[in-house]
Every structure is written in C-alpha cells, then in structure tokens.
Structure 1
Amino acid sequence: MPPHDAGADAPGVDPQWLWLTSAAPRRGRKPAYSREAITAAAVELADAEGLEAVTMRKVAAQVGAGVMTLYSYAPDKETLLNLMVDHVSGELPTAAPPTGDWRADLKDIARLQRTLMLRHPWLPAALSTRRAPGPHTLAFLERALAALRPTGLDGAAKLEIFAQLTAFVAGHVTHEIAQAAASRSPDRAAAEARYLARVAADGRHPELAEALAAPGRALAPEATFTRFLNRLIDGLDT
C-alpha cells in the first residue's frame, strides 16, 4: 500500500507510488495475484457491465481473491480506475513516426482514441476526472506531442491541444453511444422527430425551422465523427 501520508497533503492517488514502485509485496511468500491480473479483471467487468459495476468486492470475486488482498495492489477504487485507464491505453499504437502533417497526424490520433473508447465504453467517464498518467498513457502522449512539433507551439500549448482533442473524442463517443441506444427505440426517435417538426412550424423558431429544412448530412457514425473532427482540427489556430 502507499505510504501512510501519501494522501495527507493532497487528495487523490500518489502517482510516484502508483507508477514508480513495485506492484508486488516485498516480503513474505510469492504473491498469488498480480496488479496486472487484477486490473485486467476490473477492465473485463467494466466492459461487460459498465463502470458502476466495478467495486473492490466484485473485482476480488472476479479474480478469486479476498477484498483485503486487493488492497495490497489497489488501495481504493480511484487507484483501480487509474490502473484501468492506463491498462487499456496500452492498446493504442505508439510507434508510428510523425508524418510532418500535424493536422493529419492529430486526426489519426483522434480516430485511434475513438476506436479505443468504443471498445471500452466506460473509458470516457473514467477520463472525466483527473487521472495520474501511467506508462502507456504517457507513451501515447509522447506520440501526440511529437506530431505537434511542426507547429512550433510551446509545450503548454501542445498539452492543451492534446487535452482538447481527448475531451472532444470522449464527449463525441459518449453522445455516439447514447444515439446508438436511442436508435434501438424507433418509436422514441419518431416521437422526437414529430415534436421538432411541430416546434419548427410554430413560427417562433425560424432559425430552427430553416436548419431542419436544409438537406440532411450523412448520419453514419464514422462520417459524423470525421465531419466534426475536421471542423475541430482544421480550425485550430497555431
């Protein structure tokens, strides 16, 4: 477990303890479990049942351990969430060198993030609060910063752009998942369309009426994401 005073001066996870110290107990017999196995079990649980299903008790049951055993590897759920985020971030490829076209490279990075978040739908919510970046997260950040080198921006601006991009992808994926769920209820979608048509015809919302009367855009998820992403990246002012 982290030092007793690890959280005494500042709330949250102590990143040095989490990422720069050994995950295994240093004394006694060889541990029956590993931080990696416990994290993988938590990810599997979140993928199947959602983030709210991830409790220390359920994860312990998943790996066949007692709850107290888990505390040797992850003393609380916040630590476990940090481990989970970095674990799935290991699925992101980091070896591709920058092409020199930073906008194209950022779009590729965003697409990789979207694919990861759709594979792990709990990830956007897990990213909604500050996380202590682990080795996999930092490796992907390194790729993004390298892609931004041609911009000539300072380090703070590059970090802001990466944070903005990640927030956009997380928000879009959250909306995309919600829209997919709504599309499985055609009666609800039809009711919403009738409502908007009636509101647009009442004469009090001329801008909405004009917008709804315009030709529709492709609604395929990939096309919609690409359209929004292009607006974001192409509009960045360096």
Structure 2
Amino acid sequence: MAGRAAEPEVIWARPERAGRGPRPAYSRSDIVAAAVRLADADGIDALSMRRIAADVGCGTMSLYNYVPRKEDLHELMVDAVSGEYEFTGAPSGDWRADMLAVGREARGILRRHPWVIRLMTTGYASGPNALRFLEHCLTCLEGVGLPGGAKMELIANINGTVMTIVANELALAERARGLPWSEEEEQAVRGAYLMRQLAGGAYPRLAAVMAESGATRIDPEEIFDRTLGRVLDSFVAPE
C-alpha cells in the first residue's frame, strides 16, 4: 500500500522562518496583506501567486516558502480580515445588544471584503483572530443559560445569517451597476407590474399582505437588526 504524499498541517503551527539562515526579505503578513489587497480590488478568482509575487516584488516560487498551499493562504486571509473586529471594551452585559453589535461589525467587514463569503468555512477557526472572535462572543454569552454547544451554534447562526444578507446585498448592488437606468426606475416598473398581477385576484393572500404593508419604505438597517434579533430569540426567548 502506497504511503500518503503528505501529512495534515496547521498553518499556524508552521514557523514563518527556519531557525537558521538570513532573515527573509518578506514576512508572512506581507504576503497576506498583498493577497487581501488584490482580492479586494479584483475578486478572489483573479488572485494568483504570480500576482501576489508581483505586488510584493519577489519571485513566484519563493512565496511557497511562506505559504505552502492555496488553502493556507485563504485561511490566513480570512483570519487577517477577522482582525478588523474592534471589540472595544468589555461586553455591556446586555447579551442581545452585544451580539447584535458583533453582527453589525461582521456585516461591515464582509462589505469591505466580499470575497470572504466565498472562502469562509468552520474549518478556519484556529487562527488568532478567529479565536479572539469566539472568545469575545462567548464572553458576551456568559450569562445566558445555554450549554456551550448551543452557544457555538448561536454564533454560527449569526455568522451564517449575516453572510446570507450581505451576499444578497452585494448581488443587488452588482446588478444595479449593470442597468442602463436607475434603481428607482427599475423598482417603479417592477412595482407597477406586481400591482397589475395582484389586481387580477389570483394571489389573494399576497395581495392582502401588500395592501397591509402599503408603500412603506423598507429600511435595510431595521430589517438587518430585526432578522438578527429573531435569530437570537430562537435560542433564548425575550423576557
């Protein structure tokens, strides 16, 4: 039976440089910062070791001395942007408010770095910033009467909900950029078409809901907060 070609390795356990020899010209953080810049500018699909090397100013093959695999690079990138959570001060003691604040920060990070949605996985939970994130969330939830596993599920549900919301927001924004007319004009035409369909009587329940809600403007910030609030309430009913 042939032996395996490689053994599992955690990038965080891999030394950045050998104990001997000259100090490398670049650090792992230099490589990751360049990768994040390029992904922010052109998307994750445009990212390559060749482009990173050109940005940093070194040979392509030399990058593998810093980051041996593409998967390692992705994990380093996700953890790097996770360092943008501020977590200023101790939790307030209102766990719902604190977790809502975490969700808002996550939304901002994903908007700045939309490629993270493509890369995010629960496997990337051992980096220093990921551990800092989890520790903060568990501190916010310390007084909540849930077992540890349920608390981790709550955190995962918040992350998943925020990623879904932001992915939809980004898709809508991308679509709007490709239209030859304004988003307001588009929505006016679609709204008029919808009203004509509802007026025919084929969709009475939908017509009743639309009539009840009227022409109230949808505030995306209110919708975001309310959606996360419902996720939180699904774990612990509000008092």
TM superposition score normalised by structure 2: 0.85
- 2:79 is aligned, of 82, 86, 100, to 86
Task: Quote the residue 1:23 is aligned against.
Answer: 16
| Number of residue pairs the alignment of both structures matches | 228
Q: Choose the corresponding residue for 2:30, options 28, 31, 37.
A: 37
2:7 corresponding residue in structure 1: 6
Contact kept? 1:86, 1:136, Cα under 8 Å? yes
The change in CA–CA distance for 1:236 and 1:195 in structure 2 (over 3 A counts) is farther
**Which protein is bigger by CA-based radius of gyration?**
2
Moved over 6 A (4+): none
Task: Report deviation, 1:220.
Answer: 3.6
1:131 equivalent in structure 2: 124
- Structure 2 vs 1, CA of residues 212 and 115 (structure 1 numbering), >3 Å: closer, same or farther? same
Task: Using the TM superposition, name which of 58-67 and 92-101 deviates more.
Answer: 92-101
Q: Which residue of 2 aligns with 1:171?
A: 164
**Which digits, 9 at most, give the CA deviation of each residue in 1:72-102, with x for residues without a partner?**
1112221111000111111112352122221
> Secondary structure of the residue that 2:143 maps to in structure 1?
helix
Whole-Å Cα distance in 2 between the matches of residues 200 and 126 of structure 1? 41
Name the structure 2 match of 1:69: 62
How far apart are residue 206 of structure 1 and its match? 2.1
**Could you tell me which amino acid in structure 2 is paired with residue 219 of structure 1?**
I
C-alpha contact 1:50 1:122 (8 A) present in aligned 2: yes
Deviates more, 1:29-38 or 1:189-198: 189-198
Partner of 1:205: 203
Asked if 2 retains the 8 angstrom alpha-carbon contact of 1:176 and 1:221, the reply is no
- Structure 1 unaligned spans of 5+: 8-13
1:148 aligns with 2:149: no
CA RMSD between the two structures: 2.3
The TM-score normalised by the length of structure 1 is 0.85
